[in-house]
């Protein structure tokens, strides 16, 4: 079984277990998920693309697999999926540029000519 199929299978097994155990927290999570991804001011497709970018940024393979499939089934094109992944890449690098500002401040104290 390949990695993507394995992730999907594990999700199904876990969902059955949580449901069989009567987990109120998990049921609440599923209700929140249904509400989150329903069409509103943003379409389900757009919300799934946002979630894909976040999944890339937090390195959640299961999230990426699920939201790619959900976005595609909601009409997302290959290009839209790629651009959502690219946004995730930028958001992963963006916080490092914020951290680098502090480093530049410290360097500027030691080397005033930098400022």
CATH code assigned at 77: 1.20.1290.10
Please indicate whether residue 19 or residue 105 has the higher confidence score (pLDDT): 19
Same structural domain, 61 and 114: yes
pLDDT (tens digit per residue) in 52-102: 999 999 999 999 999 999 999 999 999 999 999 999 999 989 888 888 888
What does pLDDT average to over the chain?
Answer: 93
**What is the number of other CB atoms lying within 10 angstroms of the CB of residue 54?**
17
Predicted pLDDT at 115? 65
Q: Look at the chain and report how many structural domains it folds into.
A: 2
**What is the number of other CB atoms lying within 10 angstroms of the CB of residue 68?**
20
Predicted pLDDT at 1? 73
Same structural domain, 54 and 32: no
Same structural domain, 32 and 65: no
Same structural domain, 32 and 84: no
For residue 103, what are its two tokens?
A: 């480093």
Same structural domain, 63 and 98: yes
Domain that holds residue 20: 1-36
18/106 Cα distance (integer angstroms)? 50
């Amino acid at each position: 079984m390949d990695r993507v199929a394995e992730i999907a299978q594990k999700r199904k097994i876990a969902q059955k277990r949580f449901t069989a155990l009567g987990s109120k927290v998990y049921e609440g999570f599923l209700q929140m998920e249904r509400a989150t991804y329903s069409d509103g001011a943003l379409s389900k497709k757009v919300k799934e693309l946002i979630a894909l970018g976040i999944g890339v940024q937090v390195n959640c393979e299961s999230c990426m697999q699920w939201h790619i499939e959900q976005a595609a089934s909601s009409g997302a094109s290959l290009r839209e999926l790629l651009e959502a992944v690219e946004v995730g890449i930028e958001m992963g690098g963006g916080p490092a540029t914020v951290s680098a500002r502090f480093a530049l401040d410290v360097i500027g104290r030691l080397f005033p000519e930098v400022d």
